[in-house]
Structure formats: structure tokens, C-alpha cells
Homo-oligomer: A and B are copies of this chain.
Amino acid sequence: MSSKDTRKQYLTLNDVAREAGVSAITASRALRTPDIVSSKTRARVEAAVETLGYVPNPAAQALASARSRLLGIIIPSVTNQIFADFMAGIMDATEGGRFEPQFGNTRYRMQREVELLRLFATQRPAGMVVTGIDQSPEARRILKQMACPVVQVLEVGSDPIDMMIGCDQTEAGRAAVRHLIDQGYRRIGFLGARMDPRAQRRLAGYRDVLAAAGLDDPSLIVTTPQPSSASLGGRLMADLLAAAPDLDAVFCNNDDVALGALFECQRQGIRVPSQVGIVGFNDLDVVSVSVPSITSVRTHRYDMGVEAVRMIEAAIDGNPPAMAVINQGFSLMIRQSTQRRPENGAG
């Protein structure tokens, strides 16, 4: 940009040292390990930093120390509200701290996860966060080779790479469907978009419970690999209603689909919850105020982001958490959409 090539690229520690009347290394120590420096020198260095406006060069730090401030975060989507909430947790937890998050988006492609991991690996990250528990063998290998703390988020499982935080998706699916049965629904369908590993496990939970109750019927399951949205949810619901006119409830893979399903019912003049009950997943704000409000499984994405950062920090500081696997659990938020006999108010 500037045509004038100044030889001096940067304001360096040496400048600070000169200004403070100490050696460069002393200046460095005053900033990085203030405890082992006399309070006098420390004050002088701090003053010099202030007057000069010195800021360390992260590239030089990373090169010299062979480590970085980078926290690599790999998620399958940014437009999905779930991951947006998770990112917010990560960002808030890292703000003003030792680490800088950098996000990679796989768009739900496993091969892209491996590519991103390779990319991150070149930067010697201080820690890594990956989504889910279904990493490819190659991805697991790279992660282990990185020799940094790793957190798998969103789910919990029995074979952590390092640490985990999330909830049991299958169990959450079971809880949702049990609730529908408890409310007296019997012809219970499943609406699933995207069908990533989490969606598959919720479906497994759905199957478990219905099979145990003798209510399972494969024709009530409608899924698609397409990205989930309310409009897609509406189309899936229309398909399901066409295939199974006696349907009396649906468990939806997520709240977008559930909201779309509700709108489709309204369009067809089907009353919710008296004719058809609806359960969503994730408990987005909007489903708590829709008319009727929609029963949903609350998950804790924001906290998951915050905790993942805390876990990595603790591991780096040599205080690995007592529990390498944290099951955050979930809460079934019961609302109007599953109140077959209107007794309760809004959620």
C-alpha cells in the first residue's frame, strides 16, 4: 500500500528496552513473567510500553516459542442457530484472554474436517474444539498428533479423544418421544432434516421408545439430507400427513422443522395440539412464544462454548478437569403443542 518502504517494520521489544534503559530480554520478562523482575524495572518497562504504544508481534512469538494463541474451532455450519450460540460462548469466554478462536466451517462434510485439521495443525494451535464424536480415523490421528488439548462438543460418548462436553442425543430423543406417549399420542412420526450424526441419534432414541411401546411404524419416519429450515419442515410435514393421514404427533429433529410443521398444520386446518402434537429440539426462543408454543428439548450451546474454553485453559495450566467427559444433560420444556387436553398455559 505505502510506496515508502521503511526498513523498520515494527515497534519492537528492543525499542521498549532502549526507552526503559534495560536489555531486551529484561523487557520481555517484565511483560511475560513480571514476578521474577524487580518492581522498579517492571514499572519502567511498563511505562515505556505505554509511551511507545508497543504491542507484541504474534507471528514472532509463535515462531520463537513454537506455540500460538490459536484455538481452532471446527463446526459444521455457522448459519444454524445452534452453532451461532456455541460460537458466542466461545467468543465470550476467550475475550480478553490468552487465546484467539479461529473458526472453520465443514458444511457437514467429513473430508473438509480433515482438511481444516491439517490447516490448523500447521499453526500449532494451543487447543482444538471439534463438533460431535464421529471424527474419521484420520481426523482423530491428526488431533492426537497435535499434542494439544482437544474438546469434542455437542455429544458425549465412551471414547473421547481427550475431553468432551455435550449431551446424550439418543437419550434426549427418547425423552421427547416418551413425553408424547405420556400425553396420549400413539401415531407418532419423525421429521428429520440434514440428518447429521446428532439427528441420527435422536432418531435412534425415537425408534427405541416406540419399539418398546409397540408403536413403531417405519412409514411415519420422513427424513432428508437437505439443510433444515422452517420451509423444509413444512414440506416434510406435508409429505408425512399425505402418507399417514392418521398421524397424531411428530417429533422434529429441531425447532426450525417443528415451526415449519406447525405452520403446515395451520395451513391445512389441523389443530395443534388436539389433533396433532409437536415436539421440537434445541428450544430456540421463538418456539416459546409461537401460538401454540412448542414443546422442545432445551440444550445448552452457549455454556458448552464457555466450558470448552475453560477446559482447554485448565488442561494447559496443568489442571485437567476431574471429569474428562461432561454430560450437560437437557431439559424437556413442556408447552402447549403437546397438551392434548388444554389444561396448562403457555410455557
Residues of A with Cβ closer than 8 Å to B?
Answer: 1-2, 9-10, 55-60, 62-63, 66, 68, 77-81, 84-85, 87-88, 91-92, 95, 100, 102-103, 105, 118-119, 121-124, 147-149, 229-231, 234, 256, 259-260, 263-264, 266-267, 285-286, 288-291
In whole Å, how far is A174's beta carbon from the nearest beta carbon of chain B? 28
Residues of B within 8 A of A63 (CB): 57, 59-60, 63
Q: A78-B87, A84-B79, A102-B102 are in contact. Are A59 and B289 (CB under 8 A)?
A: no
Q: Is the CB of A288 within 8 A of B231?
A: yes
In whole Å, how far is A221's beta carbon from the nearest beta carbon of chain B? 22
Q: A78-B88, A260-B289 are in contact. Are A59 and B55 (CB under 8 A)?
A: no
Q: Is the CB of B58 within 8 A of A122?
A: yes
Residues of B within 8 A of A290 (CB): 230, 263
Q: Is the CB of B1 within 8 A of A147?
A: yes
Residues of B within 8 A of A87 (CB): 78-79
Residues of B within 8 A of A1 (CB): 147-149
In whole Å, how far is A324's beta carbon from the nearest beta carbon of chain B? 14
Q: A92-B105, A100-B119 are in contact. List 11 more A-B contacts (CB 8 A).
A: A59-B123, A79-B85, A81-B84, A91-B103, A103-B103, A229-B286, A231-B285, A234-B289, A256-B286, A259-B286, A264-B289
Query: How far apart are the CA atoms of A87 and B84 in the complex, in Å?
Result: 10
Q: Is the CB of A285 within 8 A of B122?
A: no
Residues of B within 8 A of A256 (CB): 286
In whole Å, how far is A84's beta carbon from the nearest beta carbon of chain B? 5
Query: How far apart are the CA atoms of A1 and B126 in the complex, in Å?
Result: 11
Query: How far apart are the CA atoms of A289 and B267 in the complex, in Å?
Result: 9
Q: A58-B123, A78-B91, A266-B291 are in contact. Are A147 and B2 (CB under 8 A)?
A: yes
Q: Is the CB of A289 within 8 A of B105?
A: no
Residues of B within 8 A of A77 (CB): 88
Query: How far apart are the CA atoms of A63 and B231 in the complex, in Å?
Result: 49
Q: Is the CB of A55 within 8 A of B231?
A: no
Per a CB cutoff under 8 Å, which of B88, B100, B105, B148 touches A102?
B100
Residues of B within 8 A of A95 (CB): 105
With CB as the reference atom, state the residue of chain B lying closest to A9: B66
Residues of B within 8 A of A260 (CB): 286, 289
Q: Is the CB of A263 within 8 A of B289?
A: yes
With CB as the reference atom, state the residue of chain B lying closest to A91: B105
Residues of B within 8 A of A102 (CB): 100, 102
